[in-house]
Structure 1
Amino acid sequence: MTTTLTGRTALITGGGVGIGRSIAQHFAEAGARVAVTYRTHEPDSTFHDAIVAAGGHPPLAFAVDATDPTQVRATADNVAGEFGGLDILVNNVGGLVQRAGLADLDLDLWHTILQVNLDSTFLFSHYVLPHLRPGTGRIINVASLAGHTGGHPGALAYATAKAAIFGFTRSLAKELAPQHITVNALAPGFIEATPFHDTFTTASSKAATIDTIPAGRAGNPDDVAGPALWLASDLSAYVTGTITDINGGQYFH
């Protein structure tokens, strides 16, 4: 068994930038045909050319609001129609949206953050499931270290959503195991070169966080793409319901 994905098809949500983009490229290099969704970070020509160079198959890209059931269902059906089915779903859409502690967190913002991070994971899983092929079917949910630790100040709703993804992953893994479809989650720690930290983390906070990482450096999107590739491949066919921590030794559970 190897990490080859030749003949497999994959949908990566939020795949135009950062972690999602790296996962898409690694999957293409392993032989998969890939489709990505985006909302604010449209894949550029460099992304397109890199995917073609890696795997030879032009990527599909769909603008979609991952919290809108109608758009999500149409996207799942369109991708499966173009590919003749699907093997791999990576639920990568998510974001902090806005830092807010409990005193400043109104119900609308709470709902928005949960929708972006948790509802999107449910919706894509729900509408992609009918297209996933038994045996090669994989769902990989991108959660966060914040789901374990509560995150930095102002991440209350975000950390709650990411912790909920852990429970969602484990329950769905049990549900789909008889269909030979695996469900696992990734919990990245501090990953640079992503919109999350470019937007919400100051230089001083980045430096302070890196000081707490035993590996002595921040992670990068490729550090997350490697475990994703393993979970998507036949090497992990008997692995389901797991949370893979990717944080350079910063946290164990």
Structure 2
Amino acid sequence: MKIAVCMKQVPATSQGDMDKKTGVMIRSGLQAIVNVYDLAALEAALRIKEQCGGVIHVFTMGPDKAEMVLREAFAMGADEGYLICDKAFAGADVLATSYTLTQAIKSVDDYDMILCGRQTTDGDTAQVSGAIAEWMQIPRVNWVTGIEVKNSERLKVEYCMEHRMVTASVMLPCLLSVERNCFPPRMPSLKLKISGRKKIIHRITLNDLNDQNPEHYGLKGSATRVKRIYPPERTSKQELVYMEKEKAAVYIADILKEILEGESVC
């Protein structure tokens, strides 16, 4: 089983600023971590490898410092790591990011399965995985909670749909986006962490891709532009009130009465 896992380095904080000219988040100076949802995808890949054997290749797109994502993946058990790094890829939206990842994955091998996390903590679009599957024209399933390899051609997959669980038979090759809570990542191995420091990280640039047209990547290949970013409004601190049930009922009733009277005035 040949498995590709897509992982990303994200800012460790929800605070950030934007380049007003390009509409791209300014990441310099922000502490970086591995996207927690992607660690679940790697864990799912490791469980599949333990079940039926195979190799796990991790792909991450970002600057040089994104190598830390691959080093952490090595410490957990990944076999190979690929850093997709080129100035031409900078500032990519969902469309350009998914296309770049697709081209990079195709440039390395034909994989039986591609695993992704549900979303990233910086963009929160949850659209890149589906877009990769569309570029590759392969089946995809989101919100996956369980994976069982039936044979070399088919998987049994459990996933969440609305308020019920669904079981499906999925043909290989396919792409699965897994749920974080169902695949809690294992602790990195000290032995693997030490050996992972010596592993070669493969670099993928624009010149390594089949499509080398720079108009299809980065800002030039993006269909959207960010006009403004801002943190969500924080709720103001409220006084915590303790009282007996009868007094509490009167207190709540008075508040509701004020609200209803205010709405009637409007």
TM above 0.5, yes or no, is: no
Q: With structure 2 as the length reference, what TM-score do the two structures score? A: 0.36
Ranked by relative contact order (alpha carbons within 8 Å, sequence separation 6 or more), the top structure is 2
Bigger strand share: 2
Larger radius of gyration: 2
